[in-house]
């Protein structure tokens, strides 16, 4: 059964049929219009002022704060004809938080992540200083404020075993860089805001780093001896003024970094021209919406990245980087324990049934290279999340994956647990 037909049939019996039909509108219409309608719909319905782990530390009492989160997965791809696929078990990530509030103004936040048991990363390490109430300056290794899951990616905060691939390949989460910024809120207007100057992606390290398939993802510098020529700008504004609602707009503007500039003789025009061809200009914007009312959850996000100088970059490096990357998803969730299935033992338990449609295209447009339709990918995910408490969840879902290069679809079954404390 084609994915699109399956998707429509699956949702046909959902309780909030009218809301969902407005949400998905028409799969054949313009993508940007569809996402805009999704977000406008949620805004009209109507406060989700969520905090991630770093924000909780900063808002806490003076002294030492310790916490963390973890994600353990099981993934099994469907058999491809007679080809058998082994299942994969993975301690995907285990993260520890250490924060210290020196006084009511100054806080330090750090986050150390172990991925797949053997990989270790510092995901955040920054100093936060309150200039005045609701306004702080931040400096160090910080999360780029782009999209939903790059800021709120603790496993109990999202549906599904894995994070969305829109966030993985287009944004790309978890995206953090070195820099300095301002963050604050206007309580009167129910607005949170962030603005920062950071180092850019490293697009050239004795060879091209970006690619058509994974976009900018491999260029994240992650605070590890990061290159910088000129800082890039990142910012986000989110609105939380209506009950159950959070709307966000994010942007990122700047150029990628390049090792070709290190030690460059600026009087050598040929060398300068060669180094210039390794730089990618980046303009990224995202809009997102989250709405929760009683048992109902609605989420939508759209991200677009326009890249310049890709023709020269691809010619210099032999890569096939696209000049436009796009991604979007919309999701509905419903707590079945709210009036449908009684809670087994606790009023805090939830059983969330959800379904999500997402598309991410790292070759939405190209310059100098042919568009590869295999990079235009669609996924439909539906499943359950059993929250045994606010910070602990069992997950199960099934994914149907396809791309524009063929009509073939592949399936994948996922199980997982997630904790956050």
pLDDT tens figures, 184-223: 999 999 999 999 999 999 999 999 999 999 999 999 999 9
Q: Is 399:381 a contact under the CB 8 Å cutoff?
A: yes
**With 0-12 CB in 10 A as exposed, 13-18 as middle and 19+ as buried, what is 25?**
middle
Residue 31's pLDDT is what? 44
Specify the DSSP class assigned to residue 144.
Answer: -
- The secondary structure element, H or E, covering residue 43 is helix 31-45
The structural domains of the chain, ordered by start, are 3-420 (2.40.160.10)
Let me know: does 202 contact 227? Beta carbons within 8 Å: yes
Looking at residue 46, its pLDDT comes to 38
Whole-number average pLDDT of the chain: 89
Q: What is the pTM of this model?
A: 0.85
Q: Is the peptide bond before 174 cis (omega within 30 degrees of 0)?
A: yes
Which residues are CB-contacts of 103 (< 8 A; sequence separation ≥ 6)? 62
pLDDT digits 0-9 by tens, 372-402: 999 999 999 999 999 999 999 999 999 999 9
Question: What is the maximum span of the chain, computed from C-alpha positions, in angstroms?
Answer: 75
Residue 82 pLDDT grade (very low, low, confident, very high; cuts 50, 70, 90): confident
Q: Of all residues in the chain, what percent carry a pLDDT higher than 70?
A: 87
**Residues 132, 278: Cα–Cα separation, whole Å:** 42
Does the structure show a pLDDT above 50 at 63? Answer: yes
The answer for residues whose C-beta is within 8 angstroms of residue 20's C-beta and 6 or more apart is 11, 14, 332
Q: Which of 20, 2, 91 is nearest to 330 (CA)?
A: 20
> Strand, coil or helix: what is 202?
strand
Q: Which residues pair with 66 in a beta bridge?
A: 98
**DSSP string over 59-111:** TS-SEEEEEEEEEEEEEEEPPBTTB----EEEEEEEEEEEEEE-SSSEEEEEE
* pLDDT exceeds 70 at position 34: no
Q: According to the model, what pLDDT value does residue 51 have?
A: 75
Here the tokens at position 121 are 């990363």
């Amino acid at each position: 059964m084609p994915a699109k037909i399956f998707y429509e049939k699956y949702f046909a019996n959902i309780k909030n049929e009218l809301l969902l039909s407005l949400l998905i509108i028409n799969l054949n219409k313009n993508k940007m219009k569809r996402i805009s309608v999704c977000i406008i719909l949620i805004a009209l319905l109507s406060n989700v002022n969520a905090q991630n782990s770093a924000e909780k530390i900063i808002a806490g009492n003076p002294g030492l704060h310790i916490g963390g989160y973890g994600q353990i997965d099981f993934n099994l791809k469907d058999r491809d004809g007679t080809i058998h696929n082994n299942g994969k078990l993975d301690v995907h990530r285990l993260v520890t938080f250490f924060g210290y509030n020196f006084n009511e103004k100054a806080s330090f936040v750090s986050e150390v992540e172990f991925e797949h048991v053997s990989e270790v990363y510092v995901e955040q390490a920054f100093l936060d200083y309150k200039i005045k109430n609701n306004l702080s300056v931040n400096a160090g290794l910080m999360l780029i404020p782009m999209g939903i899951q790059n800021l709120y990616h603790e496993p109990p905060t999202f549906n599904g075993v894995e994070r969305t691939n829109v966030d993985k390949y287009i944004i790309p989460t978890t995206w953090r860089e070195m820099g300095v910024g301002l963050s604050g809120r206007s309580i009167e207007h129910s607005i949170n805001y962030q603005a920062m100057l950071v180092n850019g992606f490293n697009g050239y390290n004795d060879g091209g780093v970006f690619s058509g398939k994974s976009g900018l993802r491999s260029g994240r510098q992650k605070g590890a001896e990061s290159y910088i020529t000129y800082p890039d700008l990142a910012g986000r504004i989110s609105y939380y003024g209506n009950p159950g609602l959070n709307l966000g707009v994010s942007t990122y503007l700047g150029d990628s970094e390049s090792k070709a500039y290190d030690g460059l003789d600026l009087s050598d025009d040929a060398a300068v021209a060669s180094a210039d061809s390794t730089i990618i200009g980046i303009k990224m914007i995202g809009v997102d919406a989250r709405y929760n009312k009683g048992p109902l959850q609605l989420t939508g996000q759209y991200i677009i990245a326009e890249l310049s100088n890709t023709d020269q970059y691809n010619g210099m490096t032999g890569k096939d980087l696209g000049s436009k990357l796009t991604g979007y998803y919309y999701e509905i969730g419903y707590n079945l324990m709210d009036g449908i299935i009684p809670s087994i033992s606790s009023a805090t338990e939830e059983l969330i049934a959800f379904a999500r449609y997402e598309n991410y295209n790292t070759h939405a447009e190209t310059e100098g290279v042919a568009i590869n339709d295999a990079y235009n990918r669609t996924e439909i995910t539906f499943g359950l999340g059993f929250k045994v408490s606010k910070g602990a969840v069992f997950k199960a879902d099934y994914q149907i994956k396809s791309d524009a290069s063929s009509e073939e679809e592949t399936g994948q079954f996922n199980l997982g647990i997630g904790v956050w404390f």
